[in-house]
Structure 1
């Protein structure tokens, strides 16, 4: 079963395999409902969202908002302040956390509902479970920021997630929290991780940190990571080998 919907400012698509059609349909409807709810509650563009009402002091943070802000605080501390949900104008913008967090929650709901294998694509950020067919994982292409017709890499996943953060489509919308200025060291950063919450936050952090962020990500939950400099050169890093006897 395949279904897609425009939500959270992008297109989410879902491909479910190895699942009874009625189970898949109900699970998909519930998953997309979770995504629409997250958009309504945490959008920085809706004046009556929970995020904006909290910012104005009109409500206490719900457990979900508290969780989102806690994820952001941990990422900020780990990145030395480069990751920041406080925009340069002082307003809260949790988009660097919420899309991956909401998509991961939707994926967890799909798995709990009995979906045996699926791929949830959140506007290019992907979370998967199982495999589409025996002997082959889910394949996600990572595009060249200089040429949308060319793929820099193809990531094959079973259970896992991949996220890319870049400035090549929306311009300089990611800032370095240490300076309050747009992040310019990389055009794009891609992270593979166990879950999409982690992959998405790490990808944004790498973009904010610049080239040094690629190696940093491997020490903070990434299975793999790479970046693209403005001149097109790739930035990669190898995970440090364990010391003898470790």
Structure 2
């Protein structure tokens, strides 16, 4: 069970954002080592996948300086996951909408997911790994108490759109324009996707939850029907006019 008297927290600036580790288990030597390894993992991911670093494997692969066979195994894994996400989303998730190879829409969630697994394998079973606002939750926040995650309202600064209650392992990812502007590209038009104002997706693991949130946001009007077709995922969207929609099962998590 979580031991909040010995709470362990760590903040790491990496991958152009902030990762926060909140560990509610009693810290052990193994957990401290796993946390250090999780942080090293995030920096390795940045070195391999950053599109802002000209020496990264993904940048060199995009420029044709190296082949896929020259890349480390994680590049093969990520590109295979991206290909599958593109297929499942009918092309609404794409790693080439801007004409360059950019798997960033999957990599951050995948990296946080792997960091969470490293902690779990070391005995930290009650944790929250927050990668730039997208979270992988495990276990409980305190004995008998679920994790409670406030989702910011995209149109009313300071207000919450909902509070998500996680009674078991859960991933939460939000895509929108409030924090970073119109940064998600509609892969079919090449133009920034601007509707809805925000979309929050919950699912079992962050890798695909984050990826599907991006795809659903880019899809716009057809997002609700598509999310409802996915097994194990629920969503809340706030539209630009203040209206909202929720998938039928979202009430299990959100207020």
* Superposed pair shares fold, TM > 0.5: yes
Residue 49, structure 1, aligned to residue 59, structure 2:
no
Name the structure 1 match of 2:34.
27
Q: Deviations over 1:124-144 (max 9, x none)?
A: 111011112122111111100
> In the comparison of the two structures, how many residue pairs are matched?
238
Q: Which has the higher helix share?
A: 2
Residue 112, structure 1, aligned to residue 121, structure 2:
yes
Q: Deviations over 1:219-244 (max 9, x none)?
A: 224431111111121122226xxxxx
Q: Deviations over 1:12-35 (max 9, x none)?
A: 111112233433321111111111
Structure 1 residues 51-70: aligned runs within 5 Å = 51-61=58-68, 62-70=72-80
Quick check: 1:4–1:12 contact (8 Å CA) kept in 2? yes
What is the alpha-carbon distance in structure 2 between the residues aligned to residue 78 and residue 129 of structure 1? 26
Quick check: 1:126–1:161 contact (8 Å CA) kept in 2? yes
Quick check: 1:128–1:161 contact (8 Å CA) kept in 2? yes
Aligned-pair distance for 1:148? 2.9
Quick check: 1:225–1:236 contact (8 Å CA) kept in 2? yes
What is the alpha-carbon distance in structure 2 between the residues aligned to residue 96 and residue 221 of structure 1? 21
What is the alpha-carbon distance in structure 1 between the residues aligned to residue 58 and residue 86 of structure 2? 19
Q: Which has the higher strand share?
A: 1
TM-score (norm 2): 0.88
What is the alpha-carbon distance in structure 2 between the residues aligned to residue 75 and residue 178 of structure 1? 15
- Gaps spanning 5+ residues in structure 2: where? 1-7, 250-255
What is the alpha-carbon distance in structure 2 between the residues aligned to residue 77 and residue 223 of structure 1? 17
TM-score (norm 1): 0.91
Quick check: 1:97–1:200 contact (8 Å CA) kept in 2? yes
- Gaps spanning 5+ residues in structure 1: where? 240-246
Name the structure 1 match of 2:164.
155
Name the structure 1 match of 2:97.
87
